[in-house]
Amino acid sequence: SSDQTSPLAVVGETGYGKSALIANWLHRHRSHHPEDVVVAHFVGATSTSTNYTLMVTRILEDLHEQLGLTFERPPAEQLVTEF
């Protein structure tokens, strides 16, 4: 069914354009489907991209921005404990 969704992972060697491919797709998808909530996380884009506490914080901030949610960001210690 077209209503089903699943995560997408793009893998490959360094320099093959994975990040550019996904960033391009994300930009086009958001412009054509502004009602969709899409959270992208580029592992390897920064030295902290694999830090799960920072990743969860960034995803929460992304959801806050996309959905207009109002919440107080939990402290890092709480994220570590709960996630």
pLDDT of res. 31: 95
State the Cα–Cα distance between residues 59 and 81, nearest whole angstrom: 17
pLDDT of res. 1: 43
pLDDT in tens, the chain (83 residues): 456 677 778 888 888 999 899 999 999 999 999 999 888 887 776 777 778 778 888 888 888 888 887 777 777 677 667 76
pLDDT of res. 66: 87
State the Cα–Cα distance between residues 64 and 13, nearest whole angstrom: 33
State the Cα–Cα distance between residues 50 and 82, nearest whole angstrom: 18
